[in-house]
Chain A
Amino acid sequence: MSTHEHDRSPHDRGPRDRGPRDLSPHSRAATFTCVRCGLTLNEAAPDGARRDHCPSCLHSRHLTDHVDGGPSDCGGRMVPISVAVPRGGDWRVIHRCVRCDELTSTPIRGDDNQLVLMRLAVRPLAQPPFPLEAFGDL
């Protein structure tokens, strides 16, 4: 468990407001490494908000417990499984933890890879459970 504690240092700090005002000068310079593609990332996105997934592969880590809001002791890799479009709001990425199957939704950031986002959004349409040709007659 000691290595576990070691490699989650800057990214894990309890429940917090994810707005720009929350970032102290120290955490503005903090970085973390993507668990999937190994990219070293600044924790602050260009729009000032705190980043919780990799902008290039959209993967994340399960560090916040979404039931009681505190830090989670799972630390598993979170895979993006879907894109949600709330009415009149920004897009959100739905993540699933590969270790404990927890689902979370986080807003997309301005520098997220838009082609990867679109690929995630149209993935259900690549293999529809019913023929889509019938919808042309409607």
Chain B
Amino acid sequence: MPRRSVRGGRRPQRAKPVREHRGEGVRGGAFRCVGCRLDVPFDAPGTAHRNHCPHCLASLHVDLRVPGDRAADCRGRMAPLSMSARPDGEWLVIHHCLACGDLSANRIAGDDNALALLRLAVRPLSDPTVPVRALMSL
């Protein structure tokens, strides 16, 4: 299948209100990742909402509906579960809250670890179960 052109009908990103980042664990426009303890600045290339660690892709369950609303009272650690793609080809990381089991989809940022992203994306192919064998039998 040929690659779909990105320049074609690319949907502009939905306008979302950007909230001020205040609260516990926030100092100097940075937060500390719950997974790998890396200090991560809030400014991210390609997105207005930094919502996961660019190194280990872990996140924190703080937002409920709108990114940045800080309305969730769970505060559990969210582990990356799988990779999804929008129809225009943009990648989304599906996060899974380890405390309450909730799922959320987050766009990847420009400085996310490419190896971690690719590991997540090829995880179904590395699993030697039935669907892979169905492809081999074609």
- Which A residues contact B (CB, under 8 angstroms)? 66, 81-86, 91, 94, 96, 103-105, 114-115, 117-118, 121-130, 132, 134-135, 138
Q: Which residue of B lies closest to A108 (CB)?
A: B131
Please determine whether A127 and B3 come into contact, CB atoms closer than 8 angstroms.
yes
Nearest-Cβ distance from residue A111 to partner chain B, whole angstroms: 11
Please determine whether B84 and A124 come into contact, CB atoms closer than 8 angstroms.
yes
Lowest 3 CB-CB distances: which A-B pairs, in order?
A127-B89, A82-B84, A121-B124
Contact residues, B72-130 vs A (CB, 8 A): 81-85, 89-92, 94, 96, 102-105, 108, 114-115, 117-118, 121-125, 127, 129-130
Please determine whether A118 and B131 come into contact, CB atoms closer than 8 angstroms.
yes
Contact of B129 among A84, A91, A104, A123 (CB under 8 A): A91
Please determine whether B94 and A91 come into contact, CB atoms closer than 8 angstroms.
no
Please determine whether B118 and A132 come into contact, CB atoms closer than 8 angstroms.
yes
Q: With contacts A96-B105, A127-B3 known, is A85 near B124, CB below 8 A? A: yes
Alpha-carbon distance A96/B94, docked complex (angstroms): 11
Alpha-carbon distance A124/B134, docked complex (angstroms): 20
Please determine whether A82 and B118 come into contact, CB atoms closer than 8 angstroms.
no
Please determine whether B135 and A115 come into contact, CB atoms closer than 8 angstroms.
yes
Flag whether B71 is at the interface (Cβ < 8 A).
no
Alpha-carbon distance A91/B128, docked complex (angstroms): 11
Find chain B residues with CB under 8 A from A118 CB.
Answer: 124, 131-132, 134-135
Find chain A residues with CB under 8 A from B3 CB.
Answer: 126-127
Flag whether B4 is at the interface (Cβ < 8 A).
yes
Please determine whether B85 and A94 come into contact, CB atoms closer than 8 angstroms.
no
Nearest-Cβ distance from residue A28 to partner chain B, whole angstroms: 25
Nearest-Cβ distance from residue B134 to partner chain A, whole angstroms: 4
Please determine whether B82 and A82 come into contact, CB atoms closer than 8 angstroms.
yes
Find chain A residues with CB under 8 A from B94 CB.
Answer: 81-82, 84, 94, 103
Nearest-Cβ distance from residue A127 to partner chain B, whole angstroms: 3
Flag whether B1 is at the interface (Cβ < 8 A).
yes
Please determine whether B85 and A114 come into contact, CB atoms closer than 8 angstroms.
no
Q: Which residue of A lies closest to B105 (CB)?
A: A103
Some 27 contacts from A to B, beta carbons below 8 A apart, are A66-B102, A81-B94, A81-B105, A82-B84, A83-B124, A84-B82, A85-B82, A85-B123, A85-B124, A85-B127, A91-B124, A91-B131, A94-B94, A103-B103, A103-B104, A103-B105, A105-B81, A105-B96, A105-B103, A115-B134, A118-B131, A118-B132, A123-B85, A127-B4, A127-B85, A129-B91, A135-B118
